[in-house]
Amino acid sequence: MEVLAETIRYFLCTPMNTISIYVTDDHPMVLDGLKNLLESEKDFRLDGCFPTGKDTLNALEKKLPDVLLLDINLPDCNGVDLSREIKKNYPKLLIIMLSMHNERAIIASVLNNKVNGYLLKHSAGSEIIQGIRSVINGETYLCKQSHQIYYDSRQTGPDVIPSITKREKDILSLIAEGYTTSQIADKLFISTHTVESHRKNLMDKFSASSMPMVIKFATGFRLI
């Protein structure tokens, strides 16, 4: 009878539909906070914590969780690019991006990768829990602040993170370092006309009215 009673208590206290979660973040304090938060929910199970994109990809090859909480800034890769790769290989995996960035273009780029949620790292614990439960239920979840930013039509700059060529990146980096058009032309062995054409293309791509604005956006998007 005691064995039967224990078995009954076990099944009554153990959630039948446990949500398996991976966390990818290289900040120990963030990880500790997330661990404590996730462990406070009876139906959440933290099955793995990983500091890099490479570690995450290796873990996903062995076992898929239900939800991946993914830091947008990792020491070995860009979280936006990593989310695209993961979604391509594991389209059913639910990904919630964790980010310090509140730029509309970054949020839009993440959502274009079919990521299921976007949470700013200073979001309240209740928002993180709500985000996980929302994506499990098939919804796309944005925390309150990122939702306001994403749907704010007054936001300036590009709609998504622009794709720039290697040459454009080289020129942009030199402009950021203070090189003039003629100096860039000499350094890259191209004409000043070509440099000016790249400048114009960059301003168009970033929906910017000046190169300082382009540099500001590009730096914020970690393109340079």
Distance CA 15, CA 156 (A): 46
Domain identity same for 28 and 98? yes
What gap in Å lies between CA 11 and CA 178, rounded to an integer?
A: 67
Average pLDDT over residues 79-88: 93
Within this chain, do residues 136 and 192 fall inside the same structural domain, yes or no?
A: no
pLDDT in tens, 38-51: 999 999 999 999 99
Q: Is the pLDDT at 7 greater than 70, yes or no?
A: no
Residue pair 97/115 in contact by the 8 Å Cβ criterion: yes
In a domain, 156, yes or no: no
Indicate if 12 and 47 belong to the same structural domain: yes
The total number of structural domains that make up the chain: 2
When the pLDDT of each residue in the chain is averaged and rounded to a whole number, the result is: 89
Give mean pLDDT, residues 101-112: 90
Full residue range of the structural domain in which residue 211 is found: 166-220
Residues 76 and 178 in one domain: no
Span 178-215, pLDDT tens digits? 999 999 999 999 999 999 999 999 999 998 889 999 99
Task: Please indicate, yes or no, whether residues 91 and 146 belong to a single structural domain of this protein.
Answer: yes
Final residue in a domain of this structure, among 121, 150, 179: 150
- Distances from the Cα of 201 to the Cαs of 120, 127, 162, 176, 215, in angstroms? 31, 39, 11, 16, 13
User: CATH number for the domain including 186?
Assistant: 1.10.10.10
What does the pLDDT average to over 95-109?
91
